[in-house]
A and B are shown apart, each in its own frame.
Chain A
Amino acid sequence: MSSERVLFAFVIVLALTLNVGFVAGDIADVSHHNVYELYAAMVVSLIATIMKFGDRSALGSTMLATSLVADLQLIAAAAAWGLYSQASGEALNAHQSATVISLAIGALVANVVSVVLLIIEMANLRR
Chain B
Amino acid sequence: MITSPGRTRHGIFILLRRLRVPLAVLVLVYAVTVLGFTLVPGVDPQGQPWRMGFLHAFYFVSFLGTTIGLGEIPYPFSDAQRLWTTAAIYATVVSWLYAIGALFNVMQDPLFRRIAHENHVARAVRRLREPFHLICGYDDAGSRIARELSEDGTRIVVIDIEPMRADTVDVEDLSITVPALVGDASDPETLLLAGLQHPLCASVLALTGDDQVNIKIALTARLLAPDLPVLSAVRDHAAHARMAAAGADPLINPYDTFAARVALSLRTPSLHVIYEALTTQRGTAMGDVPQLPRGLWVLCGVGLFTRALRHQLTQLEIETVIVDNVLADSCNEHNCVQGDPTDPEVLRRAGVESASAVVAGTPVDIDNLAITLAARRLNKKAFIVARQTQRRNAVVFRAAPADLVMLSGYVVAAEVLRVIRAPQLASFLRQARDQDEVWAAALLERMRRHIGAEVVESWSIEFSAQATPAVHRAWAAGERVTLGRLLALTQAQGEAAHAVPLLLRREQQRWLLPSENTVLLDGDHLLFCGRAQTRSYMRFLVASQTLPQLDAPETSAALESH
Chain A contacts to B: CB under 8 angstroms: 35-36, 39, 43, 46-47, 50-51, 53-56, 78, 82, 85-86
Contacts and interface: CB of A to CB of B under 8 A. Distances in A.
B414 to A, nearest CB: 47
Interface size band for B: 20 to 34
A51 B24 contact: yes
B7 interface: yes
For the complex of A and B, 8 pairs with smallest distance between CB atoms: A54-B17, A53-B16, A43-B31, A82-B55, A50-B23, A50-B24, A46-B27, A53-B20
A78 B57 CA distance: 13
A47 B26 CA distance: 10
Contacts of A54: 13-14, 16-18, 20
Contacts of B54: 35, 39, 78, 82
Interface string B45-60: 0000000011100000
B28 A53 contact: no
Given A39-B35, A56-B7, A56-B13, A50 B55 contact: no
B461 to A, nearest CB: 55
Interface string B12-40: 01101111100110011001001100100
Nearest to B25: A50
18 contacts: A35-B54, A36-B38, A43-B27, A47-B24, A50-B23, A51-B20, A51-B24, A53-B13, A53-B16, A53-B19, A54-B13, A54-B14, A54-B18, A55-B17, A56-B13, A78-B54, A82-B53, A85-B53
Contacts of B38: 36
Tell me the interface secondary structure of chain A in the complex.
helix
B31 A50 contact: no
Contacts of A85: 53
Nearest to B28: A47
A86 B55 CA distance: 9
Tell me the interface secondary structure of chain B in the complex.
helix
Contacts of B8: 56
Interface in B285-339: none
A99 B415 CA distance: 74
B424 to A, nearest CB: 49
Given A43-B27, A56-B7, A82-B55, A50 B35 contact: no
Contacts of A51: 20, 24
Contacts of A53: 13, 16-17, 19-20, 23
Interface in B181-202: none
Contacts of A36: 35, 38
A50 B34 CA distance: 19
B10 to A, nearest CB: 9
Contacts of B31: 39, 43
Nearest to A38: B54
A36 to B, nearest CB: 8
Interface string B95-126: 00000000000000000000000000000000
Contacts of B16: 53-54
B27 A47 contact: yes
Contacts of B18: 54
A53 B19 CA distance: 9
Contacts of A78: 54
A5 to B, nearest CB: 15
A78 B31 CA distance: 14
A78 B55 CA distance: 9
Nearest to B8: A56
Nearest to B27: A46
A32 B38 CA distance: 20
Contacts of A39: 31, 34-35, 54
Given A35-B54, A50-B23, 19 more contacts: A36-B35, A39-B34, A39-B35, A39-B54, A46-B27, A47-B24, A50-B20, A50-B27, A51-B24, A53-B13, A53-B23, A54-B17, A54-B20, A56-B7, A56-B13, A82-B53, A82-B54, A82-B55, A85-B53
Contacts of B34: 39
A86 B34 CA distance: 17
Nearest to B10: A56
A56 B508 CA distance: 56
Most B C-beta atoms less than 10 A away, residue of A36, A47, A53? A53
Nearest to A83: B55
Most B C-beta atoms less than 10 A away, residue of A47, A54, A78? A54
A88 to B, nearest CB: 13
A72 to B, nearest CB: 15
A38 B229 CA distance: 64
A51 B155 CA distance: 44
A54 B12 CA distance: 9
Most B C-beta atoms less than 10 A away, residue of A47, A50, A82? A50
Nearest to B21: A50
Interface string B510-524: 000000000000000
Contacts of B53: 82, 85-86
A84 to B, nearest CB: 11
A56 B34 CA distance: 33
Nearest to A79: B55
B16 to A, nearest CB: 4
Contacts of B13: 53-54, 56
Contacts of B20: 50-51, 53-54
Interface string B244-283: 0000000000000000000000000000000000000000
A125 to B, nearest CB: 20
B284 to A, nearest CB: 60
A37 to B, nearest CB: 12
